[in-house]
Amino acid sequence: AQRLSGNSAVVFTPHLMADQQERLQLEARLSQALDRGEFELFYQAQCDLHTGRLAGFEALLRWRAADGLVGPDRFIPVAEDSGLIVPIGRWVLLQACRQASAWHERARALGGPLPVMAINISPRQFQHPDFMTTVREVLKATSVDPRQIELEITEGAVMDHADATIAKMAELRELGLHLAIDDFGTGYSSLAYLKRFPIDRLKIDRSFVRDLGVDAQGAAIARAMIQLAHSLDMTVVAEGVEEEAQADCLRTWGCDLMQGYLYARPLPVGEATALLDAKLGA
């Protein structure tokens, strides 16, 4: 395919046409999915690396389309581009806060600590003028304890519009919510910049966790990220931990939490609740 400027026509290859058609079809189906009740949240547990206890869950969106389960890597970018992420994201927030509230009751009954609910917020959703109103409405409607909720925002969303972002983050924290930077290390942020943002937690992207055992540089980077976060009074979650050796390294370096297939896969709500009961009851 070629992109030509000026008066020239844009030349589409058949391949690009097929891609765009597929994307449009996806967008059309996606726009109906909310009304049809086709979305579902899965929950992936996070584990405290030092106590071994279950610390909370990250809510991960799934789409049960007519032709099967579609993963978020396929539809979130389309939802983001089309703006559909705003209503979809509102649904995610409401659903995850409801679940957090239900798990709070359970944890209380079992005498366990408050399980954290981490919720992904897309850049477009975060920057939407109605975002704060939506958050307030959801907190009120679900009467969830805001300290239980952690909003995950990617570096890109944070670094653009820095001043407005900082103000919004401060407002979210005044409500009692926690904030995490997702996929840390994959963006272009300067580390010095980070200290300007009122962030509670860094999530180290799984590409760095994967490189832990590969070479000395991979290990040095992950270790430096943990030290950086701690020096800025943030806690650290390592993502995509699949092997015991990775967990051992991370624990030695003082990483606080881990998330990954080693501890638990993303689970449907029933299985996640059973996991919570088993871990807190133990």
Given the complex with Ca ion, which of 117 and 280 has the nearer CB atom?
117
Among 138, 183, 229, 235, contact with ligand C2E (rule: CB under 6 A): 183
Q: Please, which of residues 90-149 interact with ligand C2E by CB under 6 A?
A: 92, 120, 122
Regarding 259 and contact with Ca ion (CB under 5 A), the answer is no
Residue 155 binding result from Ca ion, ligand C2E, none, given CB thresholds of 5 to 8 Å by partner type: none
Regarding 72 and contact with ligand C2E (CB under 6 A), the answer is yes
Give the span between the Cα atoms of 88 and 262, in whole angstroms. Answer: 30
Regarding 150 and contact with ligand C2E (CB under 6 A), the answer is no
Regarding 56 and contact with ligand C2E (CB under 6 A), the answer is no
Stretch of residues binding Ca ion (CB under 5 A), selected from 46-54, 149-157, 168-176, 220-228: 149-157
Stretch of residues binding ligand C2E (CB under 6 A), selected from 11-19, 69-77, 139-147, 226-234: 69-77
Given the complex with Ca ion, which of 152 and 256 has the nearer CB atom?
152
CB of 212 to ligand C2E, least distance (A): 13
Regarding 246 and contact with ligand C2E (CB under 6 A), the answer is no
CB of 14 to ligand C2E, least distance (A): 30
Q: How many other C-beta atoms can be found within 10 angstroms of the C-beta atom of residue 277?
A: 16
Among 26, 33, 43, 44, contact with ligand C2E (rule: CB under 6 A): 44
Among 266, 272, 279, 280, contact with ligand C2E (rule: CB under 6 A): 266
Stretch of residues binding ligand C2E (CB under 6 A), selected from 5-13, 30-38, 71-79, 159-167: 71-79
**Residues 180-219: x where in contact with Ca ion by CB under 5 A, - otherwise, as a string:** --xx------------------------------------
Residue/partner pairs of 201-204 with CB below 8 Å, 24 or more apart: 201/150, 201/229, 201/234, 201/235, 201/236, 201/237, 202/228, 202/229, 202/234, 202/235, 202/236, 202/237, 203/152, 203/236, 203/237, 203/238, 203/239, 203/259, 204/236, 204/237, 204/238, 204/239, 204/255
Given the complex with ligand C2E, which of 27 and 110 has the nearer CB atom?
27
Regarding 60 and contact with ligand C2E (CB under 6 A), the answer is yes
Chain residues that interact with ligand C2E, rule: CB under 6 A: 44, 60-61, 71-73, 76, 89, 92, 120, 122, 182-183, 206, 239-242, 260-261, 266
Chain residues that interact with Ca ion, rule: CB under 5 A: 120, 152, 182-183, 239
